[in-house]
Amino acid sequence: MQLPEWPAHVSVMTTVVDSVGRVLAMLGDRRDMAELMGVSAFAFRMKISDKTTFADGLYMFDWRRTLQTLMEELGYDIAILCGQLPDSPVPLVGAVERFPVVLPIEEAVLPFIRKYIDLGKPVLYFDTLAAKPYVHEWSIIYGYDEERRIVYLTDRMRSEGKTISYEDVTDNPVRFMAGIDGVRRGETGSRPTKEAESRRQAERAVRFAVDYARKGCDYRTMTNYLQYTSGLAAYDCWIRHLRSDHVAPNRYGMGQLSAVYAESKRYASLYLRSVPFEGETMRLTLLASEAYEQAAEAMEELSRLVPFVRTAEMLSPEMREACAAYLGQAKEFEAAAVGYLEKAITTMEL
């Protein structure tokens, strides 16, 4: 399949959302990235490992339910194929542990890929062979070659894409693919206007943002030694790692965390600026947008201090304290944003 133009200013580091946007663009349904980040709620998420500053918190959510819900919001029915291989080191076990245990059999995965590619539809795929500095990310399979026994897929670090063998696809310890079956059939009767539906989506996103910030993520790992803190409390957890005498913060993980979360807060601001609210609700939402923008600026300062690159360099005590200070600033601004959104919700209910 022909990949659509996907310049850097369109792309986002939250690759599950980026890949969904690209899949839709390949089907002629190009969406604004601020809309996708807001409607998916990834603009409002933040989760940190309780162990150290590894980046695995970025991936700890219910993949199946989240993707299913997002695609329903966008108007599509999808099919998901998932699993984990036995007797293999499975990355991101906290996210994958609920997947069924499957065998590395080609017939279990290749027909799924062929079916959707032959229909002119790309396949969302979780790639554990991503190019550095990434370790693993969502990508898109957009073609296959039976003679060469390869699939063509995107890679965050390779604008021209890449190929991997059928064996690598089959032996991927994390099996996760999704294909679009078609446009969802709405309920019979009058359908809401596009603006009314956008307003409902925005209300759901705002309620999610507040609930997530205050209560944290409702996805819990079954593995006891993997624990995470999310929402506003994630800032405090991150700061504790930086100020602890017993934790050596992982610099590489911090680089990815700070880059991804700085960008997501920027998109939270952009999304809230675009929602179709009115009157006092919109005024409060715009104030929240400004506060998210300031939180993003503080996180961007942190990202400049600790860029997302491969390095074995340790964080000095001075750097750790500077990072903690920026996180404290970002938390203050985001807490203010959440406060404005809570007031906006109150006005919705009047």
Please list the residues that pair with 158 across neighbouring strands.
Answer: 155
- The answer to whether residue 9 is domain-embedded is no
- Residue after which a domain boundary falls, among 131, 163, 183: 183
Q: What is the pLDDT of residues 167-221, one digit of tens each?
A: 999 999 999 999 999 998 765 455 668 888 899 999 999 999 999 999 999 999 9
The DSSP annotation for 309-339 comes to: S---PPPPHHHHHHHHHHHHHHHHHHHHHHH
pLDDT value at position 195? Answer: 83
Long-range contacts of residues 147-154, Cβ cutoff 8 Å, at least 24 apart: 151/113, 153/125, 153/127, 154/3, 154/19, 154/22
Q: Tell whether 38 is covered by a domain.
A: no
179 in a structural domain? yes
End position of a domain, from candidates 183, 209, 238: 183
> 97, 66, 64: which is closest to 79 by C-alpha?
64
Query: What is the reported pLDDT for 186?
Result: 60
**Do 175 and 214 have their domain in common?**
no
Tokens 């601004």 -> residue: 333
**Rounded CA gap, 91 and 111, in Å?**
25
Provide the pLDDT for residue 177.
Answer: 98
Same domain, residue pair 151 and 129:
yes
Are 127 and 116 in contact by the 8 Å Cβ rule? The answer is no
Q: What share of the chain is helix, strand, coil (3-state, %, to 5)?
A: 50, 15, 35
Residue with tokens 């938390």: 331
> Tokens 């190929």 — which residue?
163
pLDDT of residue 350: 80
Does residue 132 sit in the same domain as residue 236? Answer: no
Judge if pTM exceeds 0.85.
yes
Per-residue pLDDT at 187 = 55
**284 shares its domain with 321:** yes
The residue segments making up the domain with residue 114 are 15-31+76-183
Joined together, the tokens standing for residue 108 give: 């279990």
Question: Does residue 334 sit in the same domain as residue 263?
Answer: yes
Distance CA 348, CA 350 (A): 6
The residue whose two tokens read 């693919």 is 177
The answer, yes or no, to whether the previous bond of 91 is cis (omega within 30 of 0) is: no
Tens of pLDDT, residue by residue over 128-151, are 999 999 999 999 999 999 999 999
Question: For residues 25 and 158, what is the distance between their CA atoms, to the nearest angstrom?
Answer: 19
Q: Is there a single domain that holds both residue 277 and residue 325?
A: yes
258 is a domain residue: yes
CA distance 197 to 187: 14
* Single residue among 122, 151, 183 that ends a domain in this structure: 183
Backbone angles phi, psi at 141, to 5 degrees: -85, 125
Structure tokens at 95: 């996210």
The answer to whether 123 touches 107, Cβ cutoff 8 Å, is: no
Q: Kindly state whether residues 316 and 288 are assigned to the same domain.
A: yes
In the predicted model, residues of the chain with pLDDT beneath 50 are: 188
CATH number, domain at 155? 3.90.70
Residue among 147, 159, 173, 212 nearest 86 (CA)? 173
Q: Which of 272, 87, 268 is nearest to 173 (CA)?
A: 87
How many domains does one find in the chain? 2
Give the tokens for residue 276: 């179709």
Q: Are 63 and 95 a contacting pair, CB within 8 Å? A: yes
pLDDT at 149: 98
For the record, the structure tokens of 73 come out as 């919001």
Which amino acid does the sequence have at 291?
A
Q: Within this chain, do residues 162 and 121 fall inside the same structural domain, yes or no?
A: yes
68, part of any domain: no
Helix (H, G, I), strand (E, B) or coil at 275: coil
